[in-house]
Structures are given as C-alpha cells and as structure tokens.
Structure 1
Amino acid sequence: MTAVATDLISLSATELRAGYAAGTFRPVDVLEAVLARIAERNPQINAFSETEFDRAGRKARASTGTAGLLDGVPITLKENIATVGHRLAAGTAALAEAPPQTVDGPVALLTDAQGAVRIGKTVMPDYGMLSAGVSSLHGITRSPWNPGWTVGGSSAGSAAAAAARFGPIHVGSDIGGSVRLPATWTGLAALKPTFGIVPVDPPYMGRVIGPLARTVDDVALAMAVLAEPDPLARDHTFTGPRAANWADVAGQPLADLAGLRVAVHTDAGCGLPTDPEVVAVVDAAAALFERAGAHVERIAPFASEELLHELDVFLRMRSWVDVKALPMAARDRVLPYIREWVLGAADLPGTAVIQAYHGVQALRRATVTTTEQFDVVLSPVAPVAAFPAEDPSPTNDPARAMAHIAYTAPYNFSEQPAATVNAGFTADGRPVGLQLAARRYDDVRLLQVARWYEGARPASATPAWPA
C-alpha cells in the first residue's frame, strides 16, 4: 500500500469526519484505501461472512462526508445483525441455506440513516457461543497481530477487521463477553452498553449490541448512532440511554479522577485462574488511577463455581433448544465442540433449568450488590491472553467451555455497562485489555473514564497496529 493509503486506513472515524469537513480527502478515497487493505490482509485473517463492496462504492460516491454522524465512514456489522439480502446463518454450517433477510435489523437502519459506508458483514463462530474465531461455516478467523493467535469471539470478524484497519468502527454483539473478549485479545477499545439502550432484534436476556474500535472516541461516536430507537419498534426491551450525551466523552474530558471511587477485581472466584501477567497489567492500571486522585479499593470475588456452573447450564439449554430444532442431517454440520457442549443439556429436567435460571439471577444480585458503591470497577476482561487460533476456547474442553467468562458475563446479566481499553502486553506480545464497569445507564461517564485511561496509560500499553 502507498503511504497515503496507509495514512487513510489508520485514521479514526473522528479524524475522517474532520478530514471530510476540511476537504482534505473524500469518502471515495478512504474506501479505496480500505478495500486495498482488505485485499491485502483478509485472505490471511478471514474477517468477512459477506462483502458489500459495490454497495459501499455507491454509498461513498454519494457521500459528502458531512450529512450524518457516520457519513462516509467505513463500518462493518456482525453476521447476526439482519441486513436485506443476507442470510442469518449464525456462523454455523447447519444454517448455511437460511433464507436471505427481507428487512434490515435496527442497527443496520440506524447506521444507514447516519450515512455509514457498510463494507460487509463479519464472521462469528457457531451460534455465537465460542470466544474464538472457529466456525463450521467460515473456518478459522485469525488475529492480525499474529495468525497463530485467536481473534476471540463471538464478534470474531468484527475484532479482526478493526485491528487490521478495515475501517474504524465495527459493530458486534455480546451475551457473555462476545464484544469485550475479542477486543481484549486484539488490543481494541469496546463497550458492552447498558442492557436496553441499543435496540436488538430479537432481544434476549443479557444480549446487547456494541461497538469495537481502535479509540474510545470512536466507540462513543458509534454509540451516538446505535443508542436510538429502532425505526420499526421491534425491541420490547428497549429503554433508551436516559438522555446520555455521547459527545461529552470527547467534549468534556476528565482532567483528573479526584473523588472517583474505584474497585479493583483481579480474582474472579471461579473458572480459570488469572494469569499473573494479566493481574500485573490490571494492578498497574489501578495504580495509575490512584496516582490521579481516585480512591482505589480491592474487592473480593462475587461469583462462585456454583454460579458459573448454573450460567453454563442456562446457556447450554438455550443453545440446545436451537440445535434440537434442526433436522438430524443439519445437526451433524454443527461444530463438534458446540454439539458436544449443548448435548450436556439434552436430558436435563425442567427443574434443573429453573435452578440454572435462579443461579443467573443470583449472579446478577451478587454483581450489583458488590459493585453499586463504586463509580468504576477495574478488572481483567479475561483471565488469560490470546490462545491458539485453532482452539474453540482457552480450555479446549466443552465441559469447561465457560471457564474464561467469569469477569465478563456477570455484567451482561446485571445489565451494567462494561468497556475495555488495551492496558498492556504479555512478554510475548499478546494484548491485554482492562475492563471498566459501572452502574446501569452510566455509560457516558464510563467512557469518559476509559478515555482518560487511554490517554494516561504508558506508551508501552498503546497498540502500534499490525502493519
């Protein structure tokens, strides 16, 4: 790629908007650079389930770059977000023949209305139930940092596209960590917003849609577009963002953290033990908060092996219902790891499922009651850094498929916002994200704090994006 093209793909959405307004470059220039980058890198990393380059070209040529919040900005949407003409295959070969959609989902409508140049849909693993880029339909999605490393999941292609600089904003979904986990393993900024402030179709307990980007400012810009009502009013759980002003994230930056109450949480109490390298990264971030005037306090685990087990049972049964509905021939096409995992719920009685639901509610209660006195909770996103790209999970064991989500999943079911920002690297160069969580509907202030940390972190924690 030329130096000019490399410069264009490296710009944030915020910088693109400024360049368009100044007439420095045009949306078609940026799209050409991004498409050249995709041609160069995507064969190795496998980010897309569908490409929409012709449509993107028409949008870019028609764009002035100033008609909407994302006018002329290249974006992607995750495979499970409905777009006209594309199937909802959920990453599984079992649904490879799903019919094309005839109506755009809420997020597709909202991003289109603000002028976004959608370049494609990004891949996910089977049913979105892996924290890895392993799919029976799409094969393996690999990290732009190192093709031997996982990109994470289930917003696998979203993270791969963001870290590879296939445009600045990428939209994923998250029911147990599926936005934050790929973000931490690829060095990105991301937000799992408060439940109900971004419309989802269909909605489900704990399931949210959120952005992945290379900067917190771009995460906030994306949220200004996503956190609006569905024009077709399909999400009965939608609450709206409670008058949040997303422009305050960049427009009213925090000068210091005086008076901020911060919890540090580096022992999940269950699942995989947290790698000492990951703990060291979080502890260094907490020390930075304390030096900036925050009141920092370490908290004990609020989850347990029993609660994590009940969550695993609940999610297994949810997916078993989907798999059981398939014809036998289609079931055989589901990724074997997922097939073995869901079969663990096949013979469970209704009483066990209700007990699992009660466990999920107990996890919600424990999360809220432990964290509500704090403005921000700092923790790892995952107990480990990136693992091999071919492995479906860090344990590579369906019996312990959820052993790595003890830091992320509690905030899905407590409905609290949780962001991530890269905070360091392991000795062998794998990114490590810092998770920041807050009270419900405090998303804007959470991103202000995340942006403060993004600017205050040491240079050694700032990603130099893979060339």
Structure 2
Amino acid sequence: MSVAEDLCALSAAELLRGYATRALSPVEVTRASLARIEALEPLLHATYALDAEAAMAAARASESRWRGAKSGEQPGALDGVPVTIKENVATAGVPVPLGTAATQLTPAARDAPPAARLREAGAVILCKTTMPDWGMLSSGLSSFHPLARNPWDTRRNPGGSSAGAAAACAGRYAPLHVGTDIGGSIRLPAGWCGIVGLKPSLGRVPIDPPYAGRVAGPMTRNVTDAALMMGVLSRPDWRDASSLPPQSIDWLALERDARGLKLGLQMDAGWGLPVDPEIAATIEAAARGLEAAGANVERVGPFMTRAMIDGMDDFWRMRAWLDFKALPPERQAKVLPYIAEWARGGEGLSGERVFRGFSQMAAMRDAAVAACQPYDAVLSPTAPIAAFAAESASPLDDPTQPFEHIAFTLPFNMSEQPAISVNAGFTREGLPIGLQIAGRRHDDIGVLRMAKLWEELSGGEPMWPEPGAAKP
C-alpha cells in the first residue's frame, strides 16, 4: 500500500490525532484523497462538483490553524478532515440538480445547515456526491449523473438515494460523508456498501428544506467517526423549524455493556420482498452474538401492513406528479423514464385517496413506536436482499412495485426514531449485509452505543475493497 493509500485508510479520529501531534498534514491528506478520487472515479462515478483547488485551499488554511500560524485561531472539531456532501444538501455557489437532468442549474445562494456546520468545523469539503432523480430510487441510476457503482463489485448498485456517498465512503475517498434519508436513503446504501450509516431522529440534525421524514446524517467507515460527525451536524440552525431543541450530548461516550440489554429481533416486516436466507442467517447470528454477550433477545412480529406502504406510495406519487407536471415538456422528457412512469401513476388519484395515503405516515409512526417501546433497541436486516444490478432502478426494476425493499427502513423515518446500519457480514459472493439497529425516539446516542458494541463484538471494520480489482 502506498503512502497516499495509507492516508486514505485512516479514520477521522486518527487524522485528528495525527494533526494535533503534527505527525500528519491536512495538505498531504487532502492531496491523497484527491489522488484516490482521480484514480477510482472512472469506476465508481460517485462525485459531483469536485473542486480540487478549493479543497487544497481549505487544507492549507487548516494546516495553518493546526500549526498556530494565525494568532488566536484554534482548530475546529473536524479541522482538516476531508468530507463529501450529498448533492441535495446545498453548498454556496454550486447548483443542486437533485439527481435529474430536468433541473435548471442555478448556483445555491448559501450552505444548507449540514454543509455550514462542517465548514465551520474546519472540514475540507472535497466535492458533492451523486444521487438518483429527485432522490426517489434506492439506486445510483440518474438522468444527470453517471451511473454510480458499488466498490465491492462494480457490476452492482451502491444503493440510494445516497448512492455516491456510500460508494465514496467504501471506496475510501474520505472518512466522512453526509447523506440524506426519507425512506432508507442512508441506511440502504450503507448496508449494501458495508459502511456505517446513521439516520438520526427527525430534527436532531437541522436541514433545509425540512419536511416529514427527511433527515441528514453521517456515512462513515466506523461508528466513532459517525459520532464525531454528529457532534458537529447536530448543532442548532434556526432555518429548520422542525429541529429539536439543542441538547448537551457527549457523542463520544460510546461504551455500552450488553449485559441486561433487552433487544427485539424483527425478521418479518409484514410486507415486501422476503428476506434472503443468507441475509436472514447473518442477522440471526448477529442476534445470537449479542445474546452470548449478555443481552436478552425477543422476537418482534411485523407491525407494518400492505395498506401503509400502498398509501405512502399514493402520497409520494402525487407529490412527484405535481413536480413533474409543472415542468415544460422539454424538461419532462429529461426525467429518468422509470421515475416519469412512476410519477404518472399519481395523475388520476383522488384527493380522498391521497389524504388517506398521507394518513399512513401517522399509522406507521404509532405502530413503530409501540413495537419498539419495550426494547432498548430493535434489530433487523437493513434490506431483505444484497446489492442488485448496477443498471437497475430498483431490485424489481418495476415502477409499479418500487418500494418492496424498504419495509425494514421506512417505518423509522415516519416514526422519527433513530436507526443505523452497520455491517453484519457478507454473502457467499462477498457482498456486504447490513444490520439495522433502531432505537426509541430521540435516543440517538443509544443507537450509536449499540452500534459500537456490535462493531467491537464483530471485530471492527472489514477489509475494504480495492475497486480497481473488480470487473466493471
């Protein structure tokens, strides 16, 4: 492994320790990240709006702060650590295409809250990361961006909608990445790329614009780095009127003993694709491992219903249809055909049907909160299947059945509960399997502690792939 590759393998926590002792340089680390991106982007297609010049300028400024060259200026909490930001999180001066060629490219006027917090903390923003049209696919397929691919096997999908973030994370472009999630868009790609992806409680991380179920959160290679990011991302911002009141949380207090924990294990979501036997066996083994460490594990039955997802599909289709039909015909023609066909399904829906669909958000929230209340956390697969073909829009590749793979992730967006995906193992083909850990509402630190406990029991980070060895 070269010196540059060694630097790209380091965690954010390791980089910060190295900067503090001057054993490492933000300039050298950023240069190594940019070199890795240059080498792997022809395979992974994870980035958008890469600005190497701005990144190097930020790295030089960080190095100056660490070396005390500017009187009175102290390093920030993530000073000099390379990061990427999903392209639907605005950064000043960069257009926000929302994954679709139908968007008119107007530079953003200012940083959205997650980008602002990272910049204030001294992080080096390398680039934005890719996503599918309007973020409505668990896929790297986009009418605007090149097709994103999975570093573990470039014939496979990284998942979505935080597609580029997951691919960039597993590809070791940087240690820290920001994704967003409204139905699984952080956790699904995290599970399929073998990384850590935290969907925080709604309102824990201020976001602009805010709306029901939408959160931003960290995507990292280990739990400690996710906690480091939360210490920055969770800082208040008035622009998110739905954000939680500021709370003093020691995000790095991650120690937890398994003894006495009461955990739920859910293997049947109540609808959607059946859980693949390999994935089921891996998640069952994870539960047994926690049980052997002292936890009490009980089965949790399904609490979602077909009516819930059908209603949510109606509501989301109508929302997409309203956006789609507002476009002139020449821009409609640029939308990914799968998304256009799915959105047109909202055209004939009645107001009553859409309202009943909207009401399913509350039904999901109540069911998920009640099901999880007896437990410190609930374990489940992140997804019922492993990573699917890169060229497919969804596992079934059928716009009439677009959500059959999100049954385990969706309810926790609607219930506003924190949930994280961590790597639980691999299929026989070497594809990652995600373990989802969901906690009670607002117990984000509890979920991180559970994830850290599992990380320690399972032996830590996997041996990360080298995408150049995979077949495109």
Please report the TM-score for the alignment, with normalisation by the length of structure 1: 0.96
Q: Which residue of structure 1 lines up, in the alignment, with residue 117 of structure 2?
A: 110
Amino acid at match of 1:118: I
Cα contact 1:134–1:140 (8 A) shared by 2: yes
Q: Does 1:87 align with 2:103?
A: no
Aligned-pair distance for 1:242?
3.4
For 1:456 and 1:324, the matched residues in 2 are separated by 51
8 A contact 2:236–2:246 mirrored in 1: no
Distance 1:156 1:409 in 2: 17
Instruction: Provide the rounded CA distance (Å) in 2 between the counterparts of 1:320 and 1:279.
Output: 36
* Distance in 2 of aligned mates of 1:244 and 1:261: 23
Question: Pick from 242, 265, 269: which aligns with 1:237?
Answer: 242
Paired letter, 1:348 = L
Once residues 345 and 464 of structure 1 are traced to their aligned partners in structure 2, the CA distance between those partners, rounded to angstroms, is: 44
Q: 1:160 matched to which residue of 2?
A: 167
1:415 matched residue in structure 2: 416
Whether 2:235 is the aligned partner of 1:228: answer yes
Q: Secondary structure at the match of 1:248?
A: coil
- 1:21 alignment partner in structure 2: 20
Q: Out of 197, 200, 207, which is 2:207 matched to? A: 200
Q: Measure how far apart 1:4 and its partner are.
A: 1.3
Unpaired runs of 5+ in structure 2? Answer: 67-73, 467-472
Residue aligning to 2:69? none
- Find out whether 1:247 has 2:252 as its counterpart: yes
In structure 2, the residue matched to 1:440 is 441
Q: Does residue 1:259 correspond to 2:260, yes or no?
A: yes
Q: Distance in 1 between matches of 2:322 and 2:457?
A: 46
Determine the structure 2 residue equivalent to 1:77: 85
Asked if 1:149 corresponds to 2:156, the answer is yes
Cα distance between partner residues in 2 of 1:302 and 1:387: 26
Q: What secondary structure is seen at the aligned counterpart in 2 of 1:434? A: strand
Give secondary structure in 2 for the equivalent of 1:378: strand
How far off its partner does 1:139 sit? 2.7
Contact 1:48 1:157 in 2 (8 A): yes
CA displacement 1:115-164 (0-9 Å, x = unmatched)? 00000000100000000000001131001111101000000010011011
The whole-number CA distance in structure 2 between the counterparts of 1:73 and 1:226 is 14
Instruction: Indicate the residue corresponding to 2:131 in structure 1.
Output: 124
Q: CA deviation at 1:244?
A: 2.1
Structure 1 runs, 4 residues or longer, greater than 4 Å off: none
Please state whether the residue corresponding to 2:54 is helix, strand or coil: helix
**2:184 matched residue in structure 1:** 177
- Between the aligned partners of 2:227 and 2:320, the Cα distance in structure 1 is 32
Pairwise CA distance, 1:458: 5.1
Match of 1:53 in 2: 52
Q: Secondary structure at the match of 2:139?
A: coil
Pairing of 1:135-146 with structure 2 (within 5 A): 135-146=142-153
| Letter in structure 2 aligned against 1:74 | P
Residues 66-96 of structure 1: CA deviation (Å, up to 9, x unaligned): 701110000000000111111111000001x
What's the offset of the Cα at 1:241? 5.5
Q: Does 1:295 align with 2:289?
A: no
1:212 counterpart = 2:215 = no
SS in 1 for 2:127: strand
Contact 2:314 2:349 in 1 (8 A): no
- C-alpha separation between the residues in 2 aligned to 1:93 and 1:33? 31
Aligned pairs, number? 457
* Superposition deviation, residue 346 in structure 1: 1.1
Question: Mind listing any 5+ residue stretches in structure 1 that lack a counterpart?
Answer: none
Letter in 1 for 2:41: N
Q: Cα deviation per residue 1:378-420 (whole Å; 9 max; x = unaligned)?
A: 0001110000000000011001101111100100000000011
CA contact under 8 A between 1:144 and 1:163: conserved in structure 2?
yes
The Cα RMSD (Å) is: 1.1
**Separation in 2, partners of 1:115, 1:168:** 14
SS of match in other structure, 1:94: coil
Query: Following the alignment from structure 1 to structure 2, what is the Cα–Cα distance between the partners of residues 319 and 261?
Result: 40
Do the aligned residues in 2 keep the contact of 1:79 with 1:121 (CA within 8 Å)?
Answer: yes
3-state SS, counterpart of residue 173 of structure 2: coil
C-alpha separation in 2, matches of 1:425 and 1:321: 41
SS at match of 2:424: strand
TM-aligned CA deviation for residue 248 of structure 1: 1.0
Displacement of 1:445 after TM fit?
A: 1.6
Q: Deviations over 1:281-313 (max 9, x none)?
A: 110010011111111101110011121111111
Paired residue secondary structure (1:139): coil
Deviation at 1:171? 0.1
Question: Is 1:384 the equivalent of 2:385?
Answer: yes
Distance in 2 between residues matched to 1:200 and 1:267, nearest whole Å? 32
Code of the aligned partner of 1:322: D
2:253 alignment partner AA: D
Deviation at 1:432, TM superposition (A): 0.3
Amino acid paired to 2:24: F
Q: Secondary structure at 2:180's aligned position in 1?
A: strand
> So what's the TM-score if we normalise by structure 2?
0.95
Cα distance in 1 between the residues matched to 2:314 and 2:77: 41
The alpha-carbon deviation at position 243 of structure 1 amounts to 2.6
Q: Distance in 2 between the 1:160 and 1:226 partners?
A: 21
Does residue 191 of the first structure (1) align with residue 190 of the second (2)? no
Give the letter aligned to residue 406 of structure 2.
I
